[in-house]
Structure 1
Amino acid sequence: MSDKIIIPCPHCGQLNRLPAERRGGGRCGSCGQALFTGHPVALTTAAFDRQIGSDDLPVLVDFWAGWCGPCRAMAPAFEAAAAALEPLVRLAKVDTEAEPQLAARFQIRSIPTLILFRGGREIARQSGALSGGQIRAFVEQHAASAAR
């Protein structure tokens, strides 16, 4: 295992190399903002691949839409899960209305849908609204698959 990890900045997308022991902290070398905020990152099509491509950081993506009642109901639980799971897993959100290319690319047929990625590969998928505890359990259940 390397003593350095690569973390994409959630603000500017710059890849940052950190000592493994500093995984939970650090600031982006490009924009100076915190690498972990404890909040989900809103992803656009342009930023998506850079954020999910890291081998060192699994990313749980919530595919959602503003008009979706279950999506809105799950949003506070997803927010709380981000605070609980970072820096081991980054949580991100994709608005399927604003980013239909991503919804099509990942064949999102129902929302909310959660997909866990590692190194750009889909590790696990779950459709339907979950509680905060269920979101954490989903990540923990599939963490072994996400760890290389």
Structure 2
Amino acid sequence: MDDKLHLPCPHCGATNRLPAARLAEAPNCGRCGQLLLDGRPVELGDADFDAVVGAYPLPVLVDFWAPWCGPCRAMAPAFEQAGRTLQGQTLLVKVNSDDNPQLASRFGIRSIPTLVRLEHGRETRRQSGALPAQAIVQLARAAG
């Protein structure tokens, strides 16, 4: 059995082959040298979302938001805090729904903020409305 994961770098897009056992060791990208799972949310859009999220072997939690949205801005620090807690377990992604209408439409985003949990590119959970950090962590860890 091959225990190697193919992790796309959220910073440069390079695919990194990594033993699953090393996920907890804060691995760096072989091309750009940045942490593959640094705990900070990664901003993605229509152009790069599928390349990063579709192939990601760990759960992904996507925050659909917009800069004009008060609850979205209020939840942003909690989302970042949850990312630090979930480092190495879940990739947190932010998608500006105004700038990326194709993704917002594809996921049927009707209100923001909306969090969508994905496993292997497939939606497993969804929650609309601003949440505190602990609730975001619980959503990310919820089994599909």
TM-score range (shorter-chain normalised) is over 0.9
Name the structure 1 match of 2:54.
Answer: 53
Q: Which amino acid aligns with 2:43?
A: A
Q: Which runs of 5+ in 1 are unaligned?
A: none
- 1:125 positional shift: 0.7
- The match for 1:13 is 13
Matched residues, number: 143
Q: How far does the alpha carbon of each residue in 1:70-125 deviate from its partner, in whole angstroms, 9 at most, with x for none?
A: 00010000000001002110001000111111111111000000001111111111
Provide the TM-score with structure 2 as the length reference. Answer: 0.93
Aligned twin of 1:4: 4
Where does 1:126-145 land on structure 2 (aligned, <5 Å)? 126-141=127-142, 144-145=143-144
What is the identity, as a one-letter code, of the residue corresponding to 1:99?
N
Q: TM-score, normalised by structure 1?
A: 0.91
For 1:71, what is the secondary structure of its paired residue? helix
Q: Does 1:39 align with 2:32?
A: no
Code of the residue aligned with 2:64 in structure 1: it is F
Deviation at 1:31, TM superposition (A): 2.1
Deviation at 1:2, TM superposition (A): 3.9
Q: Which runs of 5+ in 2 are unaligned?
A: none
SS state of the match for residue 40, structure 2? coil
The amino acid across from 1:52 in the alignment is V
Deviations 1:49-76 (A, max 9, x none): 0121135211100000000010001000
What residue is the counterpart of 1:92 in the other structure? 93
For 2:111 and 2:124, the matched residues in 1 are separated by 18
- Tell me if the contact between 1:5 and 1:23 (Cα under 8 Å) persists in the aligned partners: no
Structure 1 stretches (4+) deviating beyond 6 angstroms?
Answer: none
Contact map agreement 2:59 2:140 (CA 8 A) in 1: no
Provide the secondary structure at the position in 2 that maps to 1:104.
Answer: helix
Q: Distance in 2 between matches of 1:82 and 1:110?
A: 22
Greater alpha carbon shift after TM alignment, 105-114 vs 17-26: 17-26
Question: Helix, strand or coil for the counterpart of 2:48?
Answer: helix
Quote the sequence identity (%).
Answer: 56
1:92-111 aligned within 5 A: 92-111=93-112
Paired with 1:117 and 1:8, the residues of 2 have a C-alpha distance of 16
* 8 Å Cα contact 1:53/1:120 also seen in 2: yes
The CA distance in 2 between the partners of 1:104 and 1:94, in whole Å, is 12
